[in-house]
Structure 1
Amino acid sequence: MPPPDTMYCAQQINIPPELPDILKQFTKAAIRTQPDDVLKWSAAYFSALSKGEILPVKERLEVGQPSSATTQTSGLSPALLKVLHKQLSPQKSVSKSELQEKWRGLCLSSDHLDSLLSLGNFGDMVDWMEFFALGCSTLGGTIISALKCACEILTDDPEGSAAHIPYETFVSLYTYLARLDGDLSEDQINSFIQNLQEVAGGMVLPSDFTSLCGESAE
Protein backbone atom coordinates (compact mmCIF):
# COMPACT_ATOMS: atom_id res chain seq x y z
CA MET A 1 0.00 0.00 0.00
CA PRO A 2 1.54 3.32 -1.03
CA PRO A 3 2.16 5.87 1.72
CA PRO A 4 -0.41 8.66 2.05
CA ASP A 5 0.26 11.93 0.33
CA THR A 6 0.08 13.81 3.63
CA MET A 7 3.00 16.15 4.18
CA TYR A 8 4.19 16.97 7.68
CA CYS A 9 5.93 20.09 8.87
CA ALA A 10 7.23 21.22 12.24
CA GLN A 11 3.98 23.04 13.01
CA GLN A 12 1.98 19.80 12.60
CA ILE A 13 4.10 17.68 15.00
CA ASN A 14 3.52 18.17 18.71
CA ILE A 15 6.66 17.43 20.72
CA PRO A 16 6.05 17.37 24.48
CA PRO A 17 8.32 20.00 26.04
CA GLU A 18 9.58 17.56 28.69
CA LEU A 19 10.62 14.90 26.14
CA PRO A 20 14.19 16.18 25.47
CA ASP A 21 15.04 16.20 29.18
CA ILE A 22 13.50 12.73 29.72
CA LEU A 23 15.60 11.32 26.89
CA LYS A 24 18.72 13.10 28.15
CA GLN A 25 18.32 11.70 31.67
CA PHE A 26 17.56 8.25 30.26
CA THR A 27 20.71 8.30 28.14
CA LYS A 28 22.89 9.37 31.08
CA ALA A 29 21.33 6.65 33.25
CA ALA A 30 21.99 3.99 30.61
CA ILE A 31 25.63 5.06 30.31
CA ARG A 32 26.13 4.92 34.10
CA THR A 33 24.34 1.59 34.54
CA GLN A 34 25.65 -0.25 31.44
CA PRO A 35 22.80 -2.84 31.41
CA ASP A 36 23.46 -6.16 29.68
CA ASP A 37 20.02 -6.02 28.06
CA VAL A 38 19.18 -2.43 27.15
CA LEU A 39 15.59 -3.17 26.13
CA LYS A 40 14.77 -5.09 29.32
CA TRP A 41 16.40 -2.43 31.47
CA SER A 42 14.67 0.36 29.55
CA ALA A 43 11.28 -1.21 30.26
CA ALA A 44 12.12 -1.31 33.98
CA TYR A 45 13.43 2.26 33.86
CA PHE A 46 10.35 3.79 32.27
CA SER A 47 7.99 1.66 34.37
CA ALA A 48 9.65 2.98 37.54
CA LEU A 49 9.66 6.51 36.15
CA SER A 50 5.93 6.40 35.38
CA LYS A 51 5.14 5.14 38.88
CA GLY A 52 7.40 7.61 40.69
CA GLU A 53 9.55 4.77 42.01
CA ILE A 54 13.32 4.68 42.53
CA LEU A 55 14.96 4.13 39.16
CA PRO A 56 17.15 1.09 38.40
CA VAL A 57 20.18 3.31 37.91
CA LYS A 58 23.69 3.16 39.33
CA GLU A 59 24.95 6.29 41.04
CA ARG A 60 28.07 6.22 38.89
CA LEU A 61 29.80 4.08 36.29
CA GLU A 62 31.61 1.10 37.84
CA VAL A 63 35.18 0.71 36.63
CA GLY A 64 37.13 -2.54 36.75
CA GLN A 65 36.51 -6.24 36.34
CA PRO A 66 34.14 -8.40 38.44
CA SER A 67 35.88 -9.52 41.62
CA SER A 68 34.87 -13.20 41.47
CA ALA A 69 33.65 -15.93 39.15
CA THR A 70 30.27 -15.81 40.91
CA THR A 71 29.97 -12.08 40.22
CA GLN A 72 30.83 -12.62 36.55
CA THR A 73 28.11 -15.27 36.27
CA SER A 74 25.39 -13.46 38.21
CA GLY A 75 26.09 -9.93 37.00
CA LEU A 76 25.61 -8.66 40.55
CA SER A 77 27.97 -5.88 41.63
CA PRO A 78 28.16 -3.55 44.65
CA ALA A 79 26.56 -0.73 42.67
CA LEU A 80 23.68 -2.91 41.49
CA LEU A 81 23.12 -4.30 44.98
CA LYS A 82 23.00 -0.70 46.20
CA VAL A 83 20.32 0.05 43.58
CA LEU A 84 18.27 -2.90 44.83
CA HIS A 85 18.74 -1.73 48.40
CA LYS A 86 17.46 1.74 47.56
CA GLN A 87 14.47 0.24 45.76
CA LEU A 88 13.49 -2.37 48.34
CA SER A 89 14.87 -1.39 51.76
CA PRO A 90 11.93 0.91 52.62
CA GLN A 91 10.02 -2.34 53.13
CA LYS A 92 11.25 -4.64 55.88
CA SER A 93 9.89 -7.60 53.92
CA VAL A 94 9.33 -7.69 50.18
CA SER A 95 7.32 -10.12 48.12
CA LYS A 96 9.26 -12.68 46.14
CA SER A 97 7.53 -11.49 42.97
CA GLU A 98 8.57 -7.87 43.54
CA LEU A 99 12.17 -8.90 44.18
CA GLN A 100 12.13 -10.96 40.99
CA GLU A 101 10.79 -7.98 39.05
CA LYS A 102 13.47 -5.59 40.32
CA TRP A 103 16.17 -8.24 39.80
CA ARG A 104 15.11 -8.80 36.18
CA GLY A 105 14.96 -5.06 35.61
CA LEU A 106 18.69 -4.90 36.34
CA CYS A 107 19.34 -7.78 33.91
CA LEU A 108 20.71 -10.05 36.64
CA SER A 109 20.85 -13.85 36.46
CA SER A 110 17.57 -15.50 37.45
CA ASP A 111 19.47 -18.68 38.33
CA HIS A 112 21.58 -16.74 40.81
CA LEU A 113 18.47 -15.21 42.37
CA ASP A 114 16.92 -18.66 42.74
CA SER A 115 20.13 -19.86 44.39
CA LEU A 116 20.06 -17.00 46.93
CA LEU A 117 16.37 -17.52 47.68
CA SER A 118 17.01 -21.22 48.23
CA LEU A 119 20.06 -20.57 50.41
CA GLY A 120 18.06 -18.22 52.61
CA ASN A 121 15.10 -20.59 52.66
CA PHE A 122 12.78 -17.71 51.80
CA GLY A 123 9.10 -18.17 51.08
CA ASP A 124 6.69 -15.81 49.37
CA MET A 125 7.94 -12.94 51.55
CA VAL A 126 11.63 -12.10 51.78
CA ASP A 127 13.31 -10.34 54.71
CA TRP A 128 15.18 -7.68 52.78
CA MET A 129 18.19 -7.26 55.08
CA GLU A 130 18.74 -11.01 55.20
CA PHE A 131 18.68 -11.15 51.41
CA PHE A 132 20.95 -8.11 51.28
CA ALA A 133 23.42 -9.94 53.55
CA LEU A 134 23.43 -12.91 51.18
CA GLY A 135 24.05 -10.58 48.26
CA CYS A 136 27.05 -9.10 50.08
CA SER A 137 28.29 -12.61 50.81
CA THR A 138 28.20 -13.35 47.08
CA LEU A 139 30.32 -10.26 46.42
CA GLY A 140 32.70 -10.73 49.34
CA GLY A 141 33.33 -14.47 49.54
CA THR A 142 34.05 -14.52 53.30
CA ILE A 143 31.89 -13.18 56.12
CA ILE A 144 34.34 -10.37 56.89
CA SER A 145 34.65 -9.39 53.23
CA ALA A 146 30.86 -9.46 52.92
CA LEU A 147 30.51 -7.17 55.93
CA LYS A 148 33.06 -4.74 54.51
CA CYS A 149 31.00 -4.67 51.32
CA ALA A 150 27.84 -4.05 53.37
CA CYS A 151 29.46 -1.11 55.15
CA GLU A 152 30.48 0.47 51.85
CA ILE A 153 26.95 0.11 50.45
CA LEU A 154 25.00 1.14 53.56
CA THR A 155 27.13 4.00 54.86
CA ASP A 156 26.04 7.62 54.65
CA ASP A 157 29.70 8.67 54.62
CA PRO A 158 31.17 10.13 51.41
CA GLU A 159 32.73 7.63 49.03
CA GLY A 160 36.27 6.69 50.03
CA SER A 161 35.84 7.67 53.70
CA ALA A 162 35.41 5.53 56.83
CA ALA A 163 32.12 3.78 55.87
CA HIS A 164 30.44 3.80 59.27
CA ILE A 165 27.15 1.95 59.77
CA PRO A 166 25.00 1.66 62.93
CA TYR A 167 26.16 -0.99 65.41
CA GLU A 168 22.73 -2.64 65.48
CA THR A 169 22.69 -2.98 61.70
CA PHE A 170 26.13 -4.55 61.68
CA VAL A 171 25.27 -7.01 64.44
CA SER A 172 22.13 -8.09 62.61
CA LEU A 173 24.04 -8.75 59.38
CA TYR A 174 26.96 -10.48 61.12
CA THR A 175 24.75 -12.71 63.25
CA TYR A 176 22.68 -13.81 60.27
CA LEU A 177 25.71 -14.66 58.11
CA ALA A 178 27.63 -16.33 60.94
CA ARG A 179 24.71 -18.58 61.87
CA LEU A 180 24.02 -19.41 58.26
CA ASP A 181 27.67 -20.29 57.70
CA GLY A 182 27.58 -22.71 60.62
CA ASP A 183 31.32 -22.74 61.35
CA LEU A 184 31.05 -20.55 64.47
CA SER A 185 29.42 -21.50 67.74
CA GLU A 186 26.98 -19.21 69.52
CA ASP A 187 29.66 -18.53 72.14
CA GLN A 188 32.11 -17.43 69.44
CA ILE A 189 29.47 -15.22 67.82
CA ASN A 190 28.50 -13.59 71.11
CA SER A 191 32.14 -13.08 72.09
CA PHE A 192 32.87 -11.35 68.79
CA ILE A 193 29.85 -9.06 69.22
CA GLN A 194 30.80 -8.18 72.79
CA ASN A 195 34.40 -7.36 71.82
CA LEU A 196 33.18 -5.28 68.91
CA GLN A 197 30.87 -3.24 71.10
CA GLU A 198 33.79 -2.34 73.34
CA VAL A 199 35.79 -1.17 70.32
CA ALA A 200 33.11 0.46 68.19
CA GLY A 201 30.37 1.87 70.39
CA GLY A 202 27.30 3.05 68.48
CA MET A 203 28.84 3.04 64.99
CA VAL A 204 30.95 0.38 63.28
CA LEU A 205 33.51 0.81 60.52
CA PRO A 206 35.51 -1.91 58.75
CA SER A 207 38.71 -1.34 60.72
CA ASP A 208 36.81 -2.11 63.94
CA PHE A 209 35.87 -5.66 63.00
CA THR A 210 38.77 -6.54 60.70
CA SER A 211 41.19 -5.74 63.52
CA LEU A 212 39.34 -8.19 65.77
CA CYS A 213 39.80 -10.87 63.12
CA GLY A 214 43.46 -10.06 62.56
CA GLU A 215 42.80 -8.72 59.06
CA SER A 216 44.04 -5.54 57.50
CA ALA A 217 41.49 -2.73 57.36
CA GLU A 218 42.50 -1.89 53.83
Structure 2
Amino acid sequence: MPLPDTMYCAQQINMPPQLPDILKNFTKAAIRTQPKDLLLWSAAYFHALSEGKPLPVKDRLEINASHKTDTGLTPGLLKTLHKQLTPCETCSKEDLQKKWKGLCLPEDQLEDLLVLGSFDSDIDWMEFFALGCGALGGTLLSSLTFACEILTEDGEGGAARIPFTTFVKLYTYLAHLDDDMTKDHIDKFLSSLQAQVDKQSGMIQVSNFNIRRK
Protein backbone atom coordinates (compact mmCIF):
# COMPACT_ATOMS: atom_id res chain seq x y z
CA MET A 1 0.00 0.00 0.00
CA PRO A 2 1.59 3.31 -1.04
CA LEU A 3 2.25 5.88 1.63
CA PRO A 4 0.02 8.94 1.47
CA ASP A 5 1.50 12.09 0.08
CA THR A 6 1.91 14.21 3.19
CA MET A 7 3.05 17.78 3.12
CA TYR A 8 5.00 19.16 6.05
CA CYS A 9 5.54 22.78 6.87
CA ALA A 10 8.36 24.23 8.95
CA GLN A 11 6.09 24.56 11.97
CA GLN A 12 5.46 20.78 11.99
CA ILE A 13 9.16 19.81 12.15
CA ASN A 14 10.61 19.69 15.62
CA MET A 15 14.25 20.78 15.65
CA PRO A 16 15.99 20.06 19.00
CA PRO A 17 17.37 23.42 20.16
CA GLN A 18 20.78 21.92 20.98
CA LEU A 19 21.25 20.29 17.54
CA PRO A 20 22.99 23.26 15.83
CA ASP A 21 25.60 23.45 18.61
CA ILE A 22 26.11 19.67 18.54
CA LEU A 23 26.73 19.72 14.80
CA LYS A 24 28.98 22.78 15.01
CA ASN A 25 31.11 21.19 17.74
CA PHE A 26 31.24 17.92 15.81
CA THR A 27 32.43 19.68 12.67
CA LYS A 28 35.14 21.59 14.55
CA ALA A 29 36.27 18.37 16.24
CA ALA A 30 36.49 16.54 12.90
CA ILE A 31 38.58 19.34 11.39
CA ARG A 32 40.98 19.34 14.35
CA THR A 33 41.31 15.56 14.51
CA GLN A 34 41.36 14.75 10.77
CA PRO A 35 40.32 11.08 11.23
CA LYS A 36 41.30 8.68 8.48
CA ASP A 37 37.88 7.02 8.64
CA LEU A 38 35.24 9.67 9.30
CA LEU A 39 32.37 7.21 9.82
CA LEU A 40 34.32 5.07 12.29
CA TRP A 41 35.52 8.12 14.21
CA SER A 42 32.02 9.68 14.17
CA ALA A 43 30.58 6.56 15.81
CA ALA A 44 33.21 6.78 18.56
CA TYR A 45 32.61 10.53 18.93
CA PHE A 46 28.85 10.32 19.42
CA HIS A 47 29.11 7.22 21.60
CA ALA A 48 31.46 9.08 23.96
CA LEU A 49 29.25 12.18 23.79
CA SER A 50 26.15 10.20 24.74
CA GLU A 51 27.92 8.72 27.78
CA GLY A 52 29.50 12.00 28.89
CA LYS A 53 33.02 10.60 28.46
CA PRO A 54 36.13 12.34 27.04
CA LEU A 55 35.79 12.70 23.29
CA PRO A 56 38.24 11.27 20.72
CA VAL A 57 39.25 14.77 19.70
CA LYS A 58 42.64 16.45 19.39
CA ASP A 59 43.24 19.77 21.13
CA ARG A 60 44.36 21.30 17.85
CA LEU A 61 45.04 20.45 14.23
CA GLU A 62 48.50 18.93 13.75
CA ILE A 63 50.15 20.39 10.67
CA ASN A 64 52.59 18.03 8.97
CA ALA A 65 52.41 15.56 11.87
CA SER A 66 55.29 13.10 11.84
CA HIS A 67 54.60 9.80 10.10
CA LYS A 68 58.24 8.67 9.85
CA THR A 69 57.26 5.01 10.12
CA ASP A 70 53.76 5.49 8.74
CA THR A 71 52.25 4.36 12.03
CA GLY A 72 49.58 7.02 12.18
CA LEU A 73 50.32 7.74 15.84
CA THR A 74 50.99 11.43 16.55
CA PRO A 75 51.55 13.41 19.76
CA GLY A 76 48.04 14.82 19.46
CA LEU A 77 46.46 11.37 19.14
CA LEU A 78 48.49 9.98 22.05
CA LYS A 79 47.41 12.95 24.17
CA THR A 80 43.80 12.24 23.21
CA LEU A 81 44.17 8.61 24.27
CA HIS A 82 45.69 9.77 27.55
CA LYS A 83 42.70 11.97 28.27
CA GLN A 84 40.31 9.14 27.46
CA LEU A 85 42.04 6.51 29.58
CA THR A 86 42.95 8.47 32.71
CA PRO A 87 42.65 9.11 35.64
CA CYS A 88 42.53 5.33 36.20
CA GLU A 89 45.98 3.79 36.69
CA THR A 90 45.00 0.74 34.67
CA CYS A 91 42.72 0.13 31.73
CA SER A 92 41.39 -3.03 30.16
CA LYS A 93 42.87 -4.27 26.92
CA GLU A 94 39.37 -4.22 25.45
CA ASP A 95 38.84 -0.54 26.33
CA LEU A 96 42.23 0.42 24.91
CA GLN A 97 41.47 -1.43 21.68
CA LYS A 98 38.12 0.34 21.42
CA LYS A 99 39.63 3.81 21.97
CA TRP A 100 42.49 3.03 19.59
CA LYS A 101 40.08 1.92 16.87
CA GLY A 102 37.90 4.99 17.46
CA LEU A 103 40.88 7.19 16.57
CA CYS A 104 41.39 5.16 13.36
CA LEU A 105 44.88 4.06 14.40
CA PRO A 106 46.39 0.92 12.81
CA GLU A 107 45.69 -2.26 14.75
CA ASP A 108 49.07 -3.81 13.96
CA GLN A 109 50.88 -0.98 15.76
CA LEU A 110 48.73 -1.51 18.84
CA GLU A 111 49.50 -5.23 18.81
CA ASP A 112 53.24 -4.50 18.50
CA LEU A 113 53.09 -2.21 21.55
CA LEU A 114 51.09 -4.74 23.55
CA VAL A 115 53.62 -7.46 22.75
CA LEU A 116 56.56 -5.18 23.54
CA GLY A 117 55.09 -4.36 26.94
CA SER A 118 54.04 -7.98 27.61
CA PHE A 119 50.62 -6.69 28.69
CA ASP A 120 47.78 -8.97 29.78
CA SER A 121 44.11 -8.07 30.02
CA ASP A 122 44.80 -5.25 32.52
CA ILE A 123 47.24 -2.61 31.29
CA ASP A 124 49.26 -0.14 33.33
CA TRP A 125 48.32 2.95 31.36
CA MET A 126 51.48 4.97 32.03
CA GLU A 127 53.63 2.06 30.90
CA PHE A 128 51.69 1.85 27.66
CA PHE A 129 51.86 5.64 27.37
CA ALA A 130 55.65 5.42 27.70
CA LEU A 131 55.78 2.91 24.85
CA GLY A 132 53.61 5.24 22.77
CA CYS A 133 56.12 8.04 23.37
CA GLY A 134 58.85 5.61 22.37
CA ALA A 135 57.05 4.92 19.08
CA LEU A 136 56.98 8.68 18.46
CA GLY A 137 60.50 9.46 19.58
CA GLY A 138 62.69 6.55 18.63
CA THR A 139 65.32 7.43 21.26
CA LEU A 140 65.03 7.60 25.04
CA LEU A 141 65.65 11.35 25.13
CA SER A 142 63.13 12.22 22.42
CA SER A 143 60.58 9.82 23.95
CA LEU A 144 60.84 11.62 27.31
CA THR A 145 60.61 14.98 25.57
CA PHE A 146 57.36 13.91 23.92
CA ALA A 147 56.09 12.66 27.29
CA CYS A 148 56.76 16.02 28.97
CA GLU A 149 55.19 18.00 26.14
CA ILE A 150 52.06 15.80 26.15
CA LEU A 151 51.58 15.59 29.91
CA THR A 152 52.48 19.14 30.91
CA GLU A 153 49.88 21.59 32.12
CA ASP A 154 52.07 24.51 31.01
CA GLY A 155 50.86 26.54 28.07
CA GLU A 156 52.08 25.91 24.54
CA GLY A 157 55.72 26.96 24.21
CA GLY A 158 56.17 26.86 28.01
CA ALA A 159 58.66 24.91 30.08
CA ALA A 160 56.79 21.59 29.64
CA ARG A 161 57.07 20.66 33.30
CA ILE A 162 55.73 17.43 34.78
CA PRO A 163 55.96 15.92 38.28
CA PHE A 164 59.31 14.24 38.88
CA THR A 165 57.55 11.13 40.18
CA THR A 166 55.86 10.75 36.79
CA PHE A 167 59.15 11.31 34.98
CA VAL A 168 60.88 8.67 37.12
CA LYS A 169 58.23 6.08 36.27
CA LEU A 170 58.43 6.78 32.54
CA TYR A 171 62.22 6.98 32.40
CA THR A 172 62.78 3.87 34.51
CA TYR A 173 60.31 1.82 32.50
CA LEU A 174 61.79 2.80 29.13
CA ALA A 175 65.38 2.51 30.37
CA HIS A 176 64.80 -1.05 31.56
CA LEU A 177 63.77 -1.98 28.02
CA ASP A 178 67.26 -1.00 26.86
CA ASP A 179 69.69 -3.84 27.54
CA ASP A 180 72.61 -1.38 27.55
CA MET A 181 71.19 0.66 30.45
CA THR A 182 72.39 -0.59 33.82
CA LYS A 183 70.62 0.07 37.10
CA ASP A 184 73.65 2.06 38.24
CA HIS A 185 73.42 4.33 35.19
CA ILE A 186 69.69 4.83 35.75
CA ASP A 187 70.17 5.70 39.42
CA LYS A 188 73.02 8.12 38.70
CA PHE A 189 71.03 9.90 36.01
CA LEU A 190 68.02 10.38 38.27
CA SER A 191 70.25 11.54 41.12
CA SER A 192 71.84 14.12 38.83
CA LEU A 193 68.42 15.73 38.33
CA GLN A 194 67.48 15.94 41.99
CA ALA A 195 68.97 19.39 42.67
CA GLN A 196 67.00 20.98 39.82
CA VAL A 197 63.85 19.13 40.87
CA ASP A 198 64.17 20.43 44.44
CA LYS A 199 64.40 24.00 43.12
CA GLN A 200 61.21 23.50 41.10
CA SER A 201 59.03 22.08 43.88
CA GLY A 202 59.16 18.49 42.66
CA MET A 203 58.75 19.28 38.97
CA ILE A 204 61.06 18.61 36.05
CA GLN A 205 61.18 20.22 32.62
CA VAL A 206 62.65 19.26 29.28
CA SER A 207 65.70 21.53 29.60
CA ASN A 208 66.72 19.80 32.84
CA PHE A 209 67.58 16.54 31.18
CA ASN A 210 68.43 17.67 27.65
CA ILE A 211 71.80 18.95 28.82
CA ARG A 212 72.56 15.71 30.69
CA ARG A 213 71.93 13.20 27.94
CA LYS A 214 74.60 10.68 27.09
Mapped to 2, the partners of 1:209 and 1:182 lie a distance apart of 21
Q: 1:186 aligns with which of 176, 183, 186?
A: 183
Tell me if structure 2 keeps the 8 A contact 1:89–1:129. Answer: no
Which of residues 190, 193, 198 is equivalent to 1:196? 193
Task: Give, in whole Å, the separation in 2 of the partners of 1:141 and 1:2.
Answer: 64
Q: Which amino acid aligns with 2:118?
A: N
Residue of structure 2 in register with 1:132 after alignment: 129
1:149 aligns with 2:146: yes
In the other structure, the counterpart of 1:36 is: 36
In structure 2, what is the equivalent of residue 90 of structure 1? 87
CA distance in structure 1 between the partners assigned to 2:66 and 2:213 by the alignment: 25
CA distance in 1: counterparts of 2:120 and 2:180, whole angstroms? 25
Check the 8 A contact 1:139/1:146 in 2, yes or no.
Answer: yes
Within 2, Cα distance between the matches of 1:24 and 1:67?
A: 29
Q: Root-mean-square deviation (CA), in Å?
A: 1.2
SS at match of 2:35: coil
| TM-score, normalised by the number of residues in structure 1 | 0.94
Number of equivalent positions: 211
* In 1, Cα distance between equivalents of 2:20 and 2:4: 29
1:89 deviation in Å?
A: 1.8
Structure 2 gaps, min length 5: none
TM-score for both structures, normalised by structure 2 = 0.95
Taking a change above 3 Å as real, the CA distance of residues 169 and 36 of structure 1, as seen in their structure-2 partners, is: same
Percent of residue pairs identical: 61
- Tell me the amino acid that sits aligned with residue 11 of structure 2: Q
Instruction: Work out the CA distance in 1 between the residues paired with 2:137 and 2:2.
Output: 61
Residues in 2 aligned to 1:99 and 1:196: alpha-carbon distance in whole angstroms? 33
* C-alpha displacement of 1:3: 5.5
Equivalent residue, structure 1, for 2:62: 62
Deviations 1:13-68 (A, max 9, x none): 11111111100110010001000000000000000000000000001111114152
Q: Which amino acid in 2 is paired with 1:63?
A: I
